[in-house]
Chain A
Amino acid sequence: MNPRITLATAGRVLGQLRHDHRTAGLMLGVPLVLLTLLWWMFEAQPAVFNSIAPALLGIFPFTVMFLVTSVATLRERTSGTLERLLSMPMAKPDLLLGYALAFGLFAVVQAGLATVLLVYVLDLQLAGPVWALVLVAVVDALLGVALGLFVSAFAATEFQAVQFMPAFVLPQFLLCGLFLPRDQLPPVLEAVSNVLPLSYAVDAMQHLTQVSELGGQFARDIAVVAGFVVVALALGAATLRRRTP
């Protein structure tokens, strides 16, 4: 591990995004548009908006980062740059943390913009502190990065990588408690939702709208999501091979 290489990698990933204005714009802009759309849908029922919007604020960065990371990593694999980097003095965690750092920074901006919109323009009522909302959104984004890195190992083409989005993200989206509270799911599905990381992300977000004190429950939810991030990054590192057949 070498901080110089990790930072250089993060800088390189951000540099690539800077040359791709459209992707950067979509990553930042689309969540804002969707949240505004949601607010408009529930114009007559602000209480519903209030309960759904934070959960979506957690889901957007997760989904966006999952897609961007899985495609970006797949490109590294297929273009040969990954092989070149691994033939250089680059430790695998340097590469993974470089990506996580770059997209994590991007997620801070994304979550910051979305939070400003939600709290100060669309009048979301939060019981907990605003910074906690940003924190959960950023941890969710990192979860997307980590899962995207891992999953890209199983895709041979960009078409396949994009298909992992519905395969990995939508089931979590359905079972995370947004459509039906998790304790009202059939017992088997409730058990499944208990081992899916997005459930904890949404729990933490909903907690913020209801309770002003950030207790052990909130800390536990964040810790679970962070744990998934670490495990997915470790699994992702295991899929990077210096020697290939």
Chain B
Amino acid sequence: MVKSTERVEGRPEARHADRDRPAIVVDGLTVVRGGRTVIDDMDLRVETGTLTGILGPSGGGKTTLMRAIVGVQQVAAGRIDVLGEPAGSPDLRRRVAYVTQAPSVYPDLTVRQNLRYFADVLGAPRADVERAIEEVDLADHADDLVGRLSGGQESRVSLATALLNSPELLVLDEPTVGLDPVLRRDLWDLFHRLADGGSTLLVSSHVMDEAERCERLLLVREGRIIADDAPARLLERTGTDDVEHAFLSIVEEDER
């Protein structure tokens, strides 16, 4: 894992020109899946160069919201603008990276072969492949078949794919599941460096303590955003001293 900051300087500064324009604007989003309303008239605005965490119970709509922002989700109503264009526009396919919860990589290829292929599809420079492998701390396994890696290593291969081509927006669905605390901390350091470099990150998580490392937290429950604030302000408002209790307190409040 890269711990120093010099690699950030080595990282090509992507086309992060429009820092004043919000990266994501969601307006009245409604998503219906199998006759059930999964996202209900949601509004959201995410500023460029920020790191936003999404928390919430499973089945609450986190993944659906992320899929809608990436533009792979059919939506019933509402409008989503991403980097100044409607979500899912062809132009955004190079500028937005999406990592699903289940690792979407080829088990019968090596780590490096996987990344080279996705780099070719993106038209990313070949140097990105080695940089991405180092950023997720898999240099020792670059020539191993992905199918022989552990679950945590496999999900890091999937995450590395999102680091190719220096995307302007990274949408990461549970990127730290199954990782040990040291790796989790290192990845959050990486996320912060990416945000400092001008990228916008939207990260969902189950682990409450790591969510405290976001600048802003969204609590999503039953298709609505029930809280939206900086972690410290959430603790202050609920009178609790960790995010987990803040979360429980807000859910209880919401149920009343």
Contact = CB atoms under 8 A, between A and B. Distances in A.
Interface stretch (B87-95, B128-136, B209-217): B87-95
A224 interface: no
Contacts of A20: 108
Contacts of A85: 121
Contacts of A81: 104-106
Nearest to B73: A243
Interface residues of B, number: 30
A243 B98 contact: no
The A interface, classified by DSSP as helix, strand, loop or mixed, is helix
A79 B113 contact: no
Given A5-B120, A19-B109, A89-B122, A83 B74 contact: no
A194 interface: no
28 contacts: A5-B120, A5-B121, A12-B113, A12-B117, A15-B117, A19-B109, A79-B106, A80-B100, A81-B104, A81-B105, A81-B106, A83-B72, A83-B100, A84-B98, A84-B104, A86-B72, A87-B71, A87-B96, A87-B98, A88-B93, A88-B118, A88-B122, A243-B73, A243-B74, A244-B72, A244-B73, A244-B74, A245-B74
B106 A12 contact: yes
B121 A88 contact: yes
Nearest to A81: B104
Contact of A242 (B72, B104, B123, B145): B72
Given A12-B109, A81-B105, A84-B98, A243 B121 contact: no
Contacts of A210: none
A226 B243 CA distance: 62
B11 interface: no
A243 B88 contact: yes
Given A19-B145, A83-B100, A84-B100, A243 B72 contact: yes
B98 to A, nearest CB: 5
Given A15-B109, A20-B108, A243-B88, A89 B72 contact: no
A228 B120 CA distance: 31
Interface residues of A, number: 25
Nearest to B68: A243
A8 B73 contact: no
Interface string A83-110: 1111111100000000000000000000
A183 B117 CA distance: 50
A163 interface: no
B102 A4 contact: no
B166 interface: no
Given A8-B120, A89-B90, 5 more contacts: A5-B120, A84-B98, A90-B93, A242-B88, A244-B73
Contacts of A4: 120, 123
A160 interface: no
Interface string B68-82: 001111100000000
Contacts of A157: none
Contacts of A84: 98, 100, 104, 118, 161
Nearest to B93: A89
A217 interface: no
Contacts of B98: 84, 87
A85 B145 CA distance: 20
A168 to B, nearest CB: 26
Contacts of B113: 12, 15
